[in-house]
Structure 1
Amino acid sequence: MKHGITIAFVNHKGGVGKTTSVHQIGASLVQKGFKVLLVDNDPQANLTFMNGWNEENETTIYDAIAEGNENLPVYEISENLFLTPSELDYASLELQLPTDPLGHFALRTILENQKKEYDFVLIDNPPTLGVFVSNALFAADKVVIITESSSLSAKGLQVVVDLIQKLKKGANKSLELLGLVLTKTSNYVVRRDTADWIREQYDVFETGIRQTVSLEEAAALQQNIFDYNPKSSGAEDYQNLTNELLKKLNIKPIKGKKKAVKK
C-alpha cells in the first residue's frame, strides 16, 4: 500500500541546492524501489530542465492551478519516476493566487486526488516565502529546509522555521519539519564554523552534501548523479541522505520492489 508522503523542500534563499536535492533524492528513492512524483512548483522550472522535460505544448502545473483542474499533469520520466513540470508563465499566478480566498490551498486541493498513487511526492519550490511556497506547505505532510553552509544562508533560517511553525499551529497542523540539510559543505574554516553553528541552533540531518562539481555537471547534462557519476561524493552523500530520510520516516527501503513497506 502506497503512503503518498508529501515532502516540501524550502528556503527563501536561492542557490542552496533545493532543486538538486529534490532531483537526487527522488532518483535515490526510485533506486530503493519506491514510486516517486516530483512536483516542480517553481516558475524557473529548473527541476523540469534537470529531468530532461522540454515538451512545450504539454500542460504544466501552471495550467492545472490557473484552470482549477482536478488533477496535476503527470508525465513518466523513467520507471517509477514521474514529473509535474513547470514553466515561466507560472510566475503570473504569484499576484493572482493571493486574491483568491482559496488561493493558498490550490495545490493541496489538486494534489489530494493524486498523492496516494505514489510512495513519495517531492515538491521543489522557488527561493521565496510567498504564495507558491505557502501552497506547498499547506499541501505537504513533511518539510525539509535546504541550506548552504555559509553565513548568508544561515542568516535567515529562523524566518523559515518560524513560518513552518506558524502554519503548523494554523491551517496545516499535521505539518512536520524533518530537519535541515547542509549543502556545499567543505573543510574551509568559515564553512565548517558556520555548519557547526547551524547544527547547534537547529535539528540538522547528520548527512551533509559536500561541494562537488559532479553535481553541477550532472544537472547540466540532465542526469541524476547516480547515472552520471555513481562513485562521486555527491552520489554517496545523497544516497546516505535518502537513507537517513527514510529512517526518520520509519520506512524501510525495498530494493527491487514497487511498493513501500512501513515498519
Structure 2
Amino acid sequence: MAYKITYSNFKGGTGKTTNSTMMGYHLAEKGFKTLLIDLDPQANATALYSLTRQNQTGEVMTFDKTLMSAIADDDVESIITPIKENLYLLPSFADLTSYPLFLEKKFPNDLSKRSTYFSEIVAHFEANFDYILFDVPPTLSTFTDSAVLASDYIVIVLQTQERSFIGADAFIKYLQELMGSYQTNFDILGILPVLQKNNAIVDKSVLKNATESFGKENMFKTVIKNMERLKRYDMTGIIDPKVSDKFDVHDKNVHALYSKVTDELIERIER
C-alpha cells in the first residue's frame, strides 16, 4: 500500500505546490512509483507537471475527461497520466470547484461520507503506487478535508513569515479537531521551512519561533532556500540535467536540495 501525504498550510503562497511537485519528482527519481493528486481547482501542480512532460518529451498532454467528470463516472483511475518514469499525475481542472456540490447531492444528510468519499476513490488504485502526494488549496475546504482524511501523513509547509507561522499553528489545531471528529490515524510528518529571503532577520526570527513552538524534532532539518530557479519552473516545467541540455548550475543546486529533503522525508516515515 502507498504512503499517502498531504502538503498544506492555511496560508497561501507558502510553496506547498512547489514542494509537493519537486518531492514527488525526486521520489520517482529514487525509484518509487509516485502519484501526485492535484486537488486544487487552480491546477498549478497540473500545469507544472504538464510543462515538465512537454519539455522533456515534446508531447503535449491531452485529456479525454476532467477529474470532476471522472469522479461522476466512477472512473478516476482512467485519467491517471504518466509524466516520467515512476511519476504520475491525477490532474485537476477548473470544474473541480463543483465537487462539494456533487458530494452534497450524493450524500445529502451525511457530512462524514462527504469528507471520506475521496478516500474510497483512492483505495481503488493506491496499491499501484509507493507514494501518493496530495496538493490542496490553502484554505479550509472540502478539498483539504478530503486529502487529509485520505492521508497517512501531513507535511505542513511553513514559509518564514509571520502569517505563514500563524497559519501553520491554526492548521495544526484544525488537524487535531479532524482527528477527534473522524477517529483518523494520520500523523504530522513534520514542518517544512521555506525561506522567503535567505539570511534575513525576519526569516531567522520566524524559524526560531517555529522551532520553539512546534519542537525541534518536528521541524525538517533541511531548510528550503529561496531559489529563483524554482520560480522559472512554473514557466518551463522542471528542468532536469539528466534529460535536458538546457540546464546550468542553478538547476543542479535545486535538484541537490530536493534530493536531500526527499531523503529526509523517507527517513521520517521509516523511523
TM-score range normalised by the length of the shorter chain:
0.7 to 0.9
Shift of the 163–66 alpha-carbon distance from structure 1 to 2, 3 Å rule, reads farther
Matched with 2:132 is 121
Gaps in structure 1 of 5+ consecutive residues: 252-263
Matched with 2:49 is 51
Matched with 1:238 is 258
Residue 222 (structure 2) pairs with residue 210 (structure 1): no
Which stretch shows the higher mean deviation, 31-40 or 161-170? Answer: 161-170
Matched with 2:31 is 33
Contact residue 50 and residue 61 of structure 2 kept, 8 A: no
- CA offsets 1:76-130 (integer angstroms, 9 cap, x no match): 1111111100001111223443563222122101001111110000010011121
SS in 2 for 1:52: helix
Structure 1 segment 1-263 matched on structure 2, within 5 A: 3-52=1-50, 55=61, 57-69=63-75, 71=77, 73-98=79-104, 100=107, 101=110, 102-185=113-196, 186-202=198-214, 203-223=218-238, 228=247, 229-232=250-253, 234-250=254-270
Instruction: Tell me the TM-score normalized by structure 2.
Output: 0.84
Shift of the 71–36 alpha-carbon distance from structure 1 to 2, 3 Å rule, reads same
Tell me, in whole angstroms, the C-alpha distance in 1 between the residues paired with 2:239 and 2:165: 27
Question: How many residues were matched structurally?
Answer: 248
Tell me, in whole angstroms, the C-alpha distance in 1 between the residues paired with 2:186 and 2:239: 29
Shift of the 119–57 alpha-carbon distance from structure 1 to 2, 3 Å rule, reads closer
Contact residue 118 and residue 146 of structure 2 kept, 8 A: yes
Tell me, in whole angstroms, the C-alpha distance in 2 between the residues paired with 1:225 and 1:18: 20
Contact residue 12 and residue 127 of structure 1 kept, 8 A: yes
> Greater helix share, 1 or 2?
2
Contact residue 65 and residue 106 of structure 1 kept, 8 A: no
How far 1:57 sits from its partner (Å)? 4.2
Tell me, in whole angstroms, the C-alpha distance in 1 between the residues paired with 2:78 and 2:179: 25
How far 1:151 sits from its partner (Å)? 0.9
Amino acid at match of 2:209: W
Tell me, in whole angstroms, the C-alpha distance in 1 between the residues paired with 2:240 and 2:225: 13
How far 1:164 sits from its partner (Å)? 1.4
Tell me, in whole angstroms, the C-alpha distance in 2 between the residues paired with 1:64 and 1:146: 29
Two-structure CA RMSD over aligned residues (Å): 2.0
SS in 1 for 2:137: coil
SS in 2 for 1:127: coil
SS in 2 for 1:59: coil
Tell me, in whole angstroms, the C-alpha distance in 2 between the residues paired with 1:192 and 1:225: 31
SS in 2 for 1:177: strand
- CA offsets 1:127-178 (integer angstroms, 9 cap, x no match): 1121100000111111111121101111222220012122223325221110
SS in 1 for 2:237: coil
Tell me, in whole angstroms, the C-alpha distance in 1 between the residues paired with 2:104 and 2:158: 27
Contact residue 147 and residue 183 of structure 1 kept, 8 A: yes
Contact residue 98 and residue 131 of structure 1 kept, 8 A: no
Instruction: Tell me the TM-score normalized by structure 1.
Output: 0.87
Matched with 1:258 is none
Shift of the 95–104 alpha-carbon distance from structure 1 to 2, 3 Å rule, reads same
Tell me, in whole angstroms, the C-alpha distance in 1 between the residues paired with 2:261 and 2:239: 15
Gaps in structure 2 of 5+ consecutive residues: 52-59
Shift of the 158–37 alpha-carbon distance from structure 1 to 2, 3 Å rule, reads same
Contact residue 67 and residue 76 of structure 2 kept, 8 A: no
How far 1:56 sits from its partner (Å)? 5.3
